[in-house]
Amino acid sequence: MIQLWVIEDHPEMRQAYYELINSAEDMRCAYSFSNCEDAIQELSTGHHPDIILLDIGLPGMNGIEGITVMKSIAPMVKIIIQTVYEDSDKIFRAICAGAIGYILKQSSSEKILEAIRETEAGGSPISARIAVKVLSIFSKFHIPENNYGLTAREKEILHLLVEGFTNVQISKKIFLSPHTVGTHIKNIYSKLQVHSRSEMVAKALKENLI
Amino acid sequence: MIQLWVIEDHPEMRQAYYELINSAEDMRCAYSFSNCEDAIQELSTGHHPDIILLDIGLPGMNGIEGITVMKSIAPMVKIIIQTVYEDSDKIFRAICAGAIGYILKQSSSEKILEAIRETEAGGSPISARIAVKVLSIFSKFHIPENNYGLTAREKEILHLLVEGFTNVQISKKIFLSPHTVGTHIKNIYSKLQVHSRSEMVAKALKENLI
DNA sequence: CAAGAAATACCGCAAACGCGGTATTTACTC
DNA sequence: GAGTAAATACCGCGTTTGCGGTATTTCTTG
């Protein structure tokens, strides 16, 4: 029996979700709240459900803050977000805050029940239209295979440089003379077109050369 | 009418997908290939479908390379990946390469058809179990508001340090004595618990202190 | 106002770095 | 087998850093 709570400010919607969930024989909605604050108070008493169905765009404390607080009180609780918004930034923040599912409000009753079951089974239900946004955020992290023509040895040394080792420490670590390490670093500098370790480390991390 | 191609190395599976798609009255599978190379050759002639259903884990050219090549020939083609793997790294690479959907091979026929329709409608169908991995990659970008108690001045200097300026350059830029800059850096070091610029820059970038 | 935090400034010295060289050995390619 | 790229090693010198101090001024806050 999957235990659920619903947080939703529209009374009719709240009632609709409550009834939908309780109509399924494998799940039960114990409480429905009109805002995050009430749910947090109830969580504080030690009770907690398996899954919380959360409407984003609530009055008072916003949904994303709510997720953060609820996850800090009851980290095991899985939060499925329901939204009318398809704003990339909101989605990104919600995911970072720890939401596990993200479905559109116009989803059908079957989709909602399915999403709950998928969540219970360890999955992350995400509406296709939301997923587009999620993937588009991802593609920004696309790595433009810019090796700058670094050789294997240079990459190895770059790794150690990023970890903050000095030339001498590196030379001992990879059994080279400190002079050789210096030469490699000189070459890395000229390939990356930088003139200091800080710049190099910054470039390596920003462009995922590590 | 949604035009599809299928790329799948198992003959029975290939045939099954082919028939499944053609059994739906709103879509049509024109070609089915056993490998990416053949599909790429056909793409090169100028023909292309709306959507390609691609099996990942193909012989010869691997699926991810395949996506990259196909997207370069026909950028408008939407690629849905089918996989048995749930490997985060593979998923990440496929998304970066430009795949738009990601569904598990054990998905039901209805789910597959639904995924195709969602893709055509501009969505990104992602199986709940795959989405878990996607979101877990995301949560790594979670910013743990860890200021380490840095003051505004220290943050300002940290910014400049990450950009690779020397103490003297910084002192000129913000109208301070080089000694003062040195003092601030000493303090930053002790707050971040690092002992070199490289370490500091790495920590600042990795933990989004910048 | 008194206390404390932050920002400012200065000193000195050992260690490390940045960069200009040169040169040999190894390995892969044509 | 000649040619090239990579990895290796060494030198020297001026600059920069890292870190141990101390100390004054400003700002905030109880």
DSSP per-residue string spanning B73-96 = H-TT-EEEEEES---HHHHHHHHH
Single-letter amino acid code for the residue at B77: V
Partnered with residue A51 across adjacent β-strands are A4, A78
Supply the pLDDT for residue B80: 94
The CA distance from B203 to A79, in Å, is 31
Domain span including residue A177 = 152-206
Same domain, A102 and A161: no
If asked whether residues B123 and B156 sit together in one domain, one would say no
Average pLDDT over residues B87-92: 79
Are A76 and A164 part of one and the same domain?
Answer: no
- Residue type at A43 in one-letter notation: L
Both A126 and A160 in one domain: the answer is no
Look at residue A196 and tell me if it is in a domain.
yes
CB contact (8 A) between residue A161 and residue B198 = yes
| Residue to substitute from A141, A201, A206, interface B, most B β-carbons within 10 A | A201
Cβ-contact B60, B9 below 8 angstroms: no
Residues A26 and A125 in one domain: yes
Given strand A78-83, what is the order of strands in its sheet? Answer: A27-33, A2-7, A51-55, A78-83, A101-104
pLDDT at B209 over 60: yes
Distance of alpha carbon A23 from alpha carbon A25, whole angstroms: 6
Choice among B8-12, B48-52, B64-68 with the minimum mean pLDDT: B64-68
Instruction: Report the pLDDT averaged over residues B58-74.
Output: 78
Comparing C-alpha atoms, which of A91, A97, A81 is closest to residue A133?
A91
Q: Which stretch of A26-40, A118-132, B41-55, B129-143 has the lowest confidence by average pLDDT?
A: B129-143
- With an 8 Å Cβ cutoff, the interface of chain B facing chain A consists of 92, 95-96, 98, 100-101, 115, 118-119, 121-129, 131-132, 134-135, 137-139, 141-143, 161-166, 194-202, 205-206
DSSP chain B: -EEEEEE-SSHHHHHHHHHHHHHSTTEEEEEEESSHHHHHHHHHTT---SEEEEESS-SSS-HHHHHHHHHHH-TT-EEEEEES---HHHHHHHHHHT--EEEETT--HHHHHHHHHHHHTT---B-HHHHHHHHHHHHTT------TT--HHHHHHHHHHHTT--HHHHHHHTT--HHHHHHHHHHHHHHHT-SSHHHHHHHHHHTT--
Q: How far apart are CA A133 and CA B138, in angstroms?
A: 13
> Is-contact A84 A58, C-beta < 8 A?
no
| Percentage above 70 pLDDT, chain A | 94
Q: Which residues in 153-192 of chain B line strand D, with CB less than 7 A from it?
A: 166-168, 182-183, 185-186, 189
Specify the amino acid at residue B130.
Answer: I
Residues A158 and A105 in one domain: no
Confidence band of B146 (pLDDT split at 50, 70, 90): low
Q: What's the whole-number mean pLDDT along residues A76-96?
A: 84
pLDDT band at B68 (very low <50, low <70, confident <90, very high): confident
Which long-range contacts does B150-155 make (Cβ < 8 Å, 24+ apart)? B150/B188, B150/B191, B150/B209, B153/B184, B154/B184, B154/B187, B154/B188, B154/B191, B155/B209
CA distance A131 to A128: 5
pLDDT value of position A140: 66
Q: How many whole angstroms separate alpha carbon B21 and alpha carbon A120? A: 31
Same domain, B131 and B160: no
Binned at pLDDT 50, 70 and 90, residue B144 comes out as low
Q: Per-residue pLDDT averaged across B189-200, rounded? A: 91
Per CB-CB distance under 8 Å, the chain A contacts of B115 are 128
Q: List the strands of the sheet with B51-55, edge to edge.
A: B27-33, B2-7, B51-55, B78-83, B101-104
Contact across the interface for B98 and A196, Cβ inside 8 Å? no
User: pLDDT at residue B188 above 70?
Assistant: yes
Residue B168 lies in a domain: yes
Residue the block writes with tokens 């910054």: A202
pLDDT of B151 strictly over 90: no
Which pLDDT score is estimated for B87?
Answer: 78
> Could B131 and A124 be called an inter-chain contact, meaning their C-beta atoms sit closer than 8 Å?
yes
B96 → closest Cβ in A100, A132, A138: A138
From the list B135, B143, B197, which residue is nearest A100 (CB)? B135
The residues facing B102 across adjacent strands are: B81, B126
Q: What percent of chain B shows pLDDT beyond 70?
A: 94
Mutate to test the interface with B, among A129, A135, A145 (most CBs of B within 10 A): A135
Spatial CB neighbours of A117, under 8 Å, sequence gap ≥ 6: A2, A26
Domains identified in chain B, total number:
2
Mutate to test the interface with B, among A68, A95, A113, A126 (most CBs of B within 10 A): A126
Task: List the single residue in A96, A119, A131 with the smallest CB-CB distance to B124.
Answer: A131
Q: What is the pLDDT of residue A66?
A: 87
Residues A63-74: what's their mean pLDDT?
87
User: Do A96 and A164 belong to one domain?
Assistant: no
Which of A167, A188, A194, A162 minimizes the C-alpha distance to B201?
A162
Residue B145 in any domain: the answer is no
Look at residues B90, B108, B139 and tell me which one is the last residue of a structural domain.
B139
CB-proximal positions of chain C, under 7 Å: 6-12, 16-23
Instruction: Examine the domain organization and report whether A109 and A53 are in the same domain.
Output: yes
Specify whether the CB–CB gap between B59 and B86 falls below 8 A.
Answer: no
Q: Does residue A19 lie in a domain region?
A: yes
Q: Would you state the pLDDT for residue B48? A: 92
**Strand D and A152 CB separated by under 7 Å:** yes
Q: Which residues of B touch A137 (CB under 8 A)?
A: 138
In this prediction, residue A207 carries a pLDDT of 85
- Tens digit of pLDDT for each residue in A128-187? 998 998 888 776 665 556 678 888 889 999 999 999 999 999 999 998 999 999 999 999
For residue B94 the two structure tokens come to 């496929």
Q: Is a pLDDT exceeding 90 seen at residue A59?
A: no
- Residues A87, A11, single domain; the answer is yes
The answer to whether B205 touches A203, Cβ cutoff 8 Å, is no
SS3 A28: strand
CATH number at residue A51: 3.40.50.2300
**pLDDT tens-digit profile of B94-113?**
888 888 999 988 888 999 99
What integer pLDDT is reported at residue A208 of this predicted model?
Answer: 79
